[in-house]
């Protein structure tokens, strides 16, 4: 009987550990995504592309040329 209670406690702890590990991994992944998106300006690029597509005022060549030039220094973090 004592062994059954011990096994049940260990199983509950295992489930709890898996939940905590999953939440920690999710928070870590979101932090990495935030840092990477801020560093390369991914969200800014996505907004510019969506606006250009909606307005139909810019060709694909213009968008590619702007992307290949790199991000502007106005949005870059100070060094």
- Residue 34 confidence (pLDDT) above 90: no
Domain extent at residue 68: 41-72
- Residue 44 confidence (pLDDT) above 70: yes
Indicate if 32 and 1 belong to the same structural domain: yes
Q: Compute the C-alpha angle 11/14/18, nearest 5°.
A: 145
pTM for the structure as a whole: 0.47
Per the CB < 8 A criterion, the answer to whether 3 and 10 are in contact is no
CB atoms within 10 A of CB 67: 13
**Domains held by the chain: number:** 2
Share of the chain above pLDDT 90, in %: 30
Least confident of 2-16, 36-50, 54-68: 54-68
Indicate if 65 and 49 belong to the same structural domain: yes
What pLDDT score was predicted for residue 13?
95
Indicate if 35 and 53 belong to the same structural domain: no
Name which residue leads in pLDDT, 16 or 76. Answer: 16
Q: Mean pLDDT across the stretch 60-72?
A: 62
Indicate if 1 and 32 belong to the same structural domain: yes
CA 39/CA 33 separation, integer angstroms: 10
């Amino acid at each position: 009987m004592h062994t059954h209670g011990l096994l049940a406690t260990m199983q509950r702890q295992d489930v709890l550990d898996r939940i905590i590990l999953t939440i920690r991994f999710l928070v870590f992944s979101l932090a990495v995504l935030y840092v990477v998106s801020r560093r390369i300006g991914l969200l800014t690029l996505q907004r510019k592309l969506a606006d250009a597509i909606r307005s139909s005022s810019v060709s694909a060549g213009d968008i590619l040329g702007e992307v290949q030039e790199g991000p502007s220094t106005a949005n870059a973090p100070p060094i």
